Structure 1
Amino acid sequence: MALLEVRRLSKVYSDGTTALQDISFELHNGEFIVIIGPSGAGKNTLLRSINRLVKPTAGELLFKGQEIVSANASQLKKHRREVGMIFQRFNLIERSSVLRNVLHGRLGYMNIVRAVLSLFSKEDKDEAIRFLERVGLGEQVYKRADELSGGQQQRVGIARAIAQKPSLILADEPIASLDPVSSEIVMDQLYSICKEEGIACLCNLHQVDVAKKYATRIIGINNGEKVFDGRPEELTDTIIERIYRGSKEQKEEMAS
């Protein structure tokens, strides 16, 4: 059974904008799938739909065989607990410590009273520190999140995601705001941890060369439609042109 099944997924926003059109694919345990496409192609909407931060207009989403589009509040809580999320803008609580930000990955496993009072167990705290050491931030545990560089903050985001002990990580443009050196560190950490822990990953990226380096499989989206799904070595220049055809990115590349 596939870990995730996306079946004919579509999303039309209230203003009439069509973000996704009839998207279908499967994701299996151990895969590291990268989604590429121009700005506005629907990559963000797709990831947010899978985590039900956005409700699709049509289609089905099955995670471990459980239908997610029609899931109730209790089912959604369980689903989101098993799906870690890494955000482009880090989504950290800036005035809280690095350790506390990572511990927030455990909130889905706590009852409401313990969660509100932030009553984390010693085991959770010890594990959070180990996760931070794993991403090279063992000396930053008690610093405020806003004292870290962008690359370091994103590594806190990775540690928070793996603290959930998820089966799947959704990474939404995790290196979009980072310099090349920080980008490589973040992608190396994300890829190696997913492989070592057996966590599947679905990652949105703009950079085709980075996608080819890390992906076990690449999905190309243009104008809300899937136009490519295959191995990195199958992604030819002709297919890349089709994925980015008419986009701002392609026009800028042609002008340079």
Structure 2
Amino acid sequence: MALLQVEGLKKVYADGTVGLSGIDFEVKAGEFIAVIGPSGAGKSTLLRCLNQMVEPTGGSIVFQGAQTIGSGRRKLRNIRREMSMIFQGFNLFERVSVLTNVLHGRLGYMSSWRGALGLFLKDDVAEARRLLERVGLREQMHKRADELSGGQQQRVGIARALAQKPKLILADEPIASLDPAASETVMSSLHRFCSEDGIACLCNLHQVDMAKKYASRIIGIHKGQKVFDGTPDELTDEMIRLIYNQKPAEAQELAETDMARKETA
């Protein structure tokens, strides 16, 4: 059984803008999947529909065998703690310590009053320290988050996501605001930790070279449609041009031709 099954996923905003138009795909446990496409293609909408930060208009999302669309508050809380998210803008509490930011990954497992008072278990604190050492930030754990560089802040975001003990990580443009060196560090860290811990990852990327380097599978999206789904080796230069040159119909036709060719091979 797939870890995540998405069928006919749609999102139409109140002003009539179509964010997603009937997207289908599955994610297996441990897969590292890059989602590529031009700005405005629907990549961020896709990830936010999966964890219900954005409410889908239609379709089906099944995570670990359970339908997520229409979930009540308690069920959605349980889903989100096993489907952690890494944000482009880091989304850290800048004026609190790095260690406390990582500990916020445990809030989904705590009662609301304990979380509000910051009464974290000793085991959780020990695990947060271990995770910060793992991402190379042990010496910075007591600094305020806003004292760190962008690349360091994103590594805090990775540690926070890992603190949730997720089955799936949703990474929304995690290196978009970073320089090349920091981007490489963040991507290699995210890929390594997901591999070591058996965590699946859906990672939105603008950088096709990074997608081909780290992903075992790549999904191409254009204007809310899935126009490619295959291995990095199958992502040809022609397909890349079609994904980014605003020709989704041609990209879809080429993808279907490639699929038919593989089925008859």
TM-score normalised by structure 1 residue count: 0.96
Q: Deviations over 1:182-208 (max 9, x none)?
A: 000000100000000000000000000
Query: Retained in 1: the 8 A contact 2:99–2:141?
Result: yes
1:253 aligns with none
Cα distance in 2 between the residues matched to 1:73 and 1:125:
27
1:178 aligns with 178
Q: Deviations over 1:210-250 (max 9, x none)?
A: 00000000000000000000000000011001111139xxx
Cα distance in 2 between the residues matched to 1:95 and 1:71:
33
1:81 aligns with 81
Tell me whether 1:9 sits opposite 2:29 in the alignment.
no
2:58 aligns with 58
SS of residue matched to 2:138 = coil
2:202 aligns with 202
Query: Retained in 1: the 8 A contact 2:222–2:246?
Result: no
1:115 aligns with 115
Shift of 1:112: 1.3
Cα distance in 1 between the residues matched to 2:153 and 2:186:
10
Tell me whether 1:188 sits opposite 2:217 in the alignment.
no
1:45 aligns with 45
Query: Retained in 1: the 8 A contact 2:10–2:57?
Result: yes
Greater mean deviation of Cα atoms: 212-221 or 110-119: 110-119
Cα distance in 1 between the residues matched to 2:161 and 2:246:
35
Q: Deviations over 1:53-97 (max 9, x none)?
A: 001001000000110111111110000010110000000000000
Amino acid across the alignment from 1:73: R
Structure 1 runs of 4+ aligned residues shifted over 6 Å read none
SS of residue matched to 1:96 = coil
SS of residue matched to 2:7 = strand
1:29 aligns with 29
Cα distance in 2 between the residues matched to 1:224 and 1:246:
12
Cα distance in 2 between the residues matched to 1:235 and 1:120:
45
Q: Structure 1: where are the runs of 5+ without partners? A: 248-256
Cα distance in 1 between the residues matched to 2:61 and 2:86:
20
Q: How many residues align?
A: 247
Amino acid across the alignment from 1:233: D
Q: Deviations over 1:158-195 (max 9, x none)?
A: 00000000000000000000000000000010000000
Listed as ranges, the matches of 1:99-114 within 5 Å are: 99-114=99-114
Amino acid across the alignment from 1:239: M
1:69 aligns with 69
2:226 aligns with 226
1:161 aligns with 161
SS of residue matched to 2:56 = coil
Cα distance in 2 between the residues matched to 1:121 and 1:21:
44
SS of residue matched to 1:139 = helix
TM-score normalised by structure 2 residue count: 0.92
Query: Retained in 1: the 8 A contact 2:34–2:211?
Result: yes
Shift of 1:122: 1.0
Tell me whether 1:151 sits opposite 2:163 in the alignment.
no
Q: CA RMSD in A?
A: 0.7
Query: Retained in 1: the 8 A contact 2:173–2:203?
Result: yes
